[in-house]
Structure 1
Amino acid sequence: MRTVGVEEELLLVDEGTGEPLTRAAAVLASADAAPRETSVESELHGQQIEFATRPCADLGELANEIRRLRADTDRHARGAGARIAAVATSPLPVSPQVNEGERYRWIMEKFGSTADEQLTCGCHVHVSVDSDEEGVAVLDRIRPWLPQLLALSANSPFWQGQETGYGSYRARVWNRWPSAGPYGVFGSAEEYHAQVAAMVATGVLHDEGMVYFDARLSHHWPTVEIRVADVCLDPRTPVLLAALSRALVDTAAREAADGVPPAPVPTSVLRLASWQAARSGLDSDLLHPLHHTPAPPRETLDALLDHVGEALEANGDLARARTELDRLLGEGNGARVQRERYAKGEGLGEVVRECVRRTAGD
C-alpha cells in the first residue's frame, strides 16, 4: 500500500480579535526547543506556519498525526501569544509581513505585489511512487480530477474583510504566480524534467521549488505532491483528501501499466474547471470531470468515487471516503461554515475565533 503524508499551512491569529499575528519566528523557536519532534517550518510570511506529517500507510494513523500536529503547533503558538486557524485566507484585513531570508527577498523583489499578497494557506498531499516515470504517468492521468479536490477543500470566502463570492479565493490569488495551476500532459519523466529545467532557466523562477503546478513530482521525496487544495477547517477533511489522492495515484498508475492513455483534456478547459471549483466550492454546479459541462457537486463527486472506487476498496478506505463525502455535502466545507457564521450576524473576528475552535477539532 502506498504511503501518504499531508502538509498543512496555518494562519497565526490573535485569539481575541482574530487578526493575523507575525509570530512565526517565535513559534519555530518554541518548536525547535521542544523534546517531542514536531515538523514545523516557516513560510513566505511571518503570519503563517506549516507542519508536515510522517508518511503513513494507515489513514487512522494519519488522522491521529494531523490532530497531534495541530495540537502541538497550537501549543507553541499559544506560547508566542497566538493561536492557529486552518483558514486559507484571512477573513480580516491584513498587511502581510515577509520573513527574512535571501530566497524570500529575491521573490519579493521579483514579483512585487503578487508575492506580497500571498498570505494564503494550502494543503499538500504527498503520495509515494516507485519512480519518476511512474510519477509522471500519474500526473498525466489525474489532471481532470484535481478540481474536485479543490471544491471539497474550499475554505477561503473572505479576502481583506470582504466577501469574495468564491468558495476558494486562495486559489485565485495563488494562480497569480506565473507557474501555478493546471498543466499539460508531459508524456515521460524526461520531458517533465526538461520542462521544469526550461522554466527555471528563464530566470523568472528562483528555483525548482517555485514550479507551482496543481500537482508535481516532489523535489525532496519520492512522491507525487498534489497541491491544489485549500487548507481544510475540519481535521477530518485532509484525511479524506489523502484517501482520494492515494486512490487517484493508484488508479492512474494501474491505467498507465495497462496502456490506457491520459484523457486528452486541453489545459485551457482544466483552467475553467479549476476556476469553477474555486467559485462554487460545494454550493453550486461544478464542471463534470468526464464531459466538462455543468453538473451538481454530488454528481461530480460520485463520478470521482466511481473512478477511484476499486482503489479505495483495495486500500480499505472506501467506507471512510463515502462517509466523509456525505458529511461534507451535508454540513458543508470550511467556506460554508465561515459564511454561515457571518450570515448569523457575527463579525469576522468571531468567524475567526470559531475557526480556531474547529481547527483543533472541538
Structure 2
Amino acid sequence: MLLSKGFEVEMYTGSPQGDIIGLSDRIVRDLEGFVREPDARNVEYTTAPYCGYDRLLCALVNPRQHLRQYLRSQGDYTLIPGSTLSLGGADQFYRSDPNNPYHSYIEQTYHTDVVTASIHINVGINDPEILMRACRLVRVEAPLYLALSASSPFLDGQVTGYHSTRWAVFPQTPPFVPLFADHDHFIQWTAQQLDQGTMQNVRHLWCSVRPNGDRRPYNLNRLELRICDLVTDPISLLAITALLEARLLQLLANPQLDPLKQSKLTPDELVSLTLANEQAVAKQSLDASLQHWQDGQTLLARDWIEQLRQEVTFIAKPRGLSCFISPIQRILREGNTAQQWLTQYEAGQSPQQILSQAIQSTEQMERDLEDKLCHSQAA
C-alpha cells in the first residue's frame, strides 16, 4: 500500500532569455488552479493527492502545459527554471497584492530573500503521533533531499558560491524549531510562537519539514517537506519523492527509527546538527560533508543518499517503488541541476546562456512527457 502524495509547485514566469517578469495577477485572474505568492514573479499550483506515480506525473505536467499555452497567448513569455532570481531583480519586491497586510509584513521583514521558487512535497499521514515521528526522521534527513534538488547557484547574474542559494538566504522562521516530542508539544509550541509574535499565523512556520493539515496545529494529515529547490524534471522529482516515501514506509514498519530513540544526541543537539548539515548542503549539495544523526559519523551527502537508497530497497521493491527511485543513481552520477549549470559556467557559458538553454530543454521535455504519458488525461 502506497501513501498519498501531492506537490506545491512554485515557479517563475518571464522571457525565453531567462529574465523573470511578474505575471501572477493575470494568471490567477484567467486560469483556475493557480495562486499568487507575495511577489508577482512567482506563481504556484498544487496537485491533488495521488498514491500512484503515473497520475502524479501527469498532475505535475498538465497544469504546466496549460500555463505555458496561456503565457504564449499573453506575449513572448515562458516558465523559468531555478530557485532564485538568477539573472537579476533581487533589489526590488514586486507586490502581487498591495492590500494584503501579511504580504506587507513579508516584504518589510524579509524583502526579496523570500522571492524563491521551490517544490513542497506533501505525504499523507493521518495519525498525529505517527506524523510527528515521521517529521522528526525526515527533519534530520532533509539535507539529503536538498542535495538532490539544488538548482540555484546564481543570483543577480552572479555565481554565489552556493548550490542552493535559495536555502542559504531563505529566512527560516522561527530561527530554532524543535523536534516535536508529540502532537501536544507541537500545539503548545505553536501557541507560544503566535503569542510571542515569532510567527504571524499558523502558516508562518518556515523550516525544512512541518506537519500540515486543514486546521493547524490541531487537525493534521500530512508531512510537508519544504526544503527542496525547484525540480523541473518530473522524473527526477518523482525519484526524490519515491525515496522519501520508501523511507516513511520503513519508519511505519519500524517505529524504532525515530531519532529520539536512535540518537545519543539531545533533541536540541539534533536540531543544531541538522541545521549545520542544511547549510553545508546549501553550499556544496551532493559533495557536502555531513554528520549522521545516528552516530555523528562524517560522510558525504552523496554517500549517505546511496546508503539510504540501498537501505530502503527491501521496502521499495515489493511495492513497485524501485523503478521510480532508480533515477536517484543518475542524479548522483551526473550531478543535480546546480552542479550541471556550474559545469557549464566553468566551461565558459554565461548564466543567461545557461538559463536560456535550460528553458528550451525543459519545454521540450515536458512536451515529450505529455505526448507519451499524459496525452489521454490532457485531452
Is TM (by shorter chain) over 0.5? yes
Q: Which residue of 2 aligns with 1:209?
A: 203
Deviation at 1:330, TM superposition (A): 2.2
Deviation at 1:88, TM superposition (A): 0.7
**Distance in 1 separating the partners of 2:257 and 2:23:** 50
Deviation at 1:187, TM superposition (A): 1.5
Q: Which residue of 1 aligns with 2:252?
A: 253
**Distance in 2 separating the partners of 1:287 and 1:359:** 34
Q: 1:262 and 1:64, CA in 2 relative to 1: closer, same or farther beyond 3 A?
A: farther
Q: Which residue of 1 aligns with 2:116?
A: 120
Q: 1:191 and 1:167, CA in 2 relative to 1: closer, same or farther beyond 3 A?
A: same
Q: Which residue of 2 aligns with 1:91?
A: 86
Q: 1:157 and 1:287, CA in 2 relative to 1: closer, same or farther beyond 3 A?
A: farther
Q: Which amino acid aligns with 1:5?
A: G
Q: 1:335 and 1:224, CA in 2 relative to 1: closer, same or farther beyond 3 A?
A: same
- Alignment equivalent of 2:359, drawn from 333, 339, 356: 356
CA shift digits 1:229-276 (9 cap, x unpaired): 111132222111211222222222333389885443421111111111
Q: Which amino acid aligns with 1:98?
A: R
Per mean C-alpha deviation after superposition, the further-off stretch among 17-26 and 298-307 is 298-307
1:12 counterpart = 2:8: no
Q: How does 1:1-362 map to 2 (within 5 A)?
A: 1-15=2-16, 17-32=17-32, 39-81=33-75, 82-94=77-89, 95-100=92-97, 101-109=100-108, 111=109, 114-174=110-170, 176-179=171-174, 183-220=177-214, 222-256=221-255, 261-264=260-263, 265=265, 266=269, 267-288=271-292, 290-321=294-325, 323-360=326-363, 362=365
**SS of equivalent residue, structure 1 residue 345:** coil
CA shift digits 1:165-201 (9 cap, x unpaired): 1111100111x24326x74321111111111121122
Residues 226 and 245, structure 1, Cα contact 8 Å, conserved in 2: no
**SS of equivalent residue, structure 2 residue 286:** coil
**Distance in 1 separating the partners of 2:324 and 2:172:** 35
Residues 47 and 96, structure 1, Cα contact 8 Å, conserved in 2: no
**SS of equivalent residue, structure 2 residue 210:** strand
Superposition TM-score, scaled by structure 1 size: 0.89
Deviation at 1:130, TM superposition (A): 2.1
Residues 24 and 40, structure 2, Cα contact 8 Å, conserved in 1: yes
**Distance in 1 separating the partners of 2:53 and 2:196:** 41
Residues 147 and 286, structure 2, Cα contact 8 Å, conserved in 1: yes
Q: Which amino acid aligns with 2:68?
A: D
CA shift digits 1:38-81 (9 cap, x unpaired): x2211121001111111111112212221212212222233333
Q: Which amino acid aligns with 2:355?
A: V
Q: 1:346 and 1:121, CA in 2 relative to 1: closer, same or farther beyond 3 A?
A: same
Q: Which amino acid aligns with 2:150?
A: A
Q: Which amino acid aligns with 1:96?
A: F
Per mean C-alpha deviation after superposition, the further-off stretch among 126-135 and 248-257 is 248-257
Residues 84 and 359, structure 1, Cα contact 8 Å, conserved in 2: no
Q: 1:287 and 1:277, CA in 2 relative to 1: closer, same or farther beyond 3 A?
A: farther
Residues 168 and 230, structure 1, Cα contact 8 Å, conserved in 2: yes
**SS of equivalent residue, structure 1 residue 41:** strand
**Distance in 2 separating the partners of 1:297 and 1:271:** 14
Q: Which amino acid aligns with 2:147?
A: A
Residues 96 and 116, structure 1, Cα contact 8 Å, conserved in 2: yes
**Distance in 2 separating the partners of 1:259 and 1:138:** 8
Residues 151 and 277, structure 1, Cα contact 8 Å, conserved in 2: yes
**Distance in 1 separating the partners of 2:113 and 2:140:** 28
Deviation at 1:145, TM superposition (A): 1.4
Query: Identical aligned pairs, as a percentage?
Result: 19
Residues 125 and 241, structure 1, Cα contact 8 Å, conserved in 2: no
Structure 2: unaligned runs, 5 residues or longer: 215-219, 366-379
Deviation at 1:345, TM superposition (A): 2.6
Q: Which residue of 2 aligns with 1:35?
A: none
How many residues are treated as equivalent by the alignment? 349
Task: Compute the RMSD of aligned alpha carbons.
Answer: 2.3
Structure 1: unaligned runs, 5 residues or longer: 33-38
Residues 107 and 206, structure 1, Cα contact 8 Å, conserved in 2: no
Deviation at 1:10, TM superposition (A): 0.6
**Distance in 2 separating the partners of 1:331 and 1:195:** 42
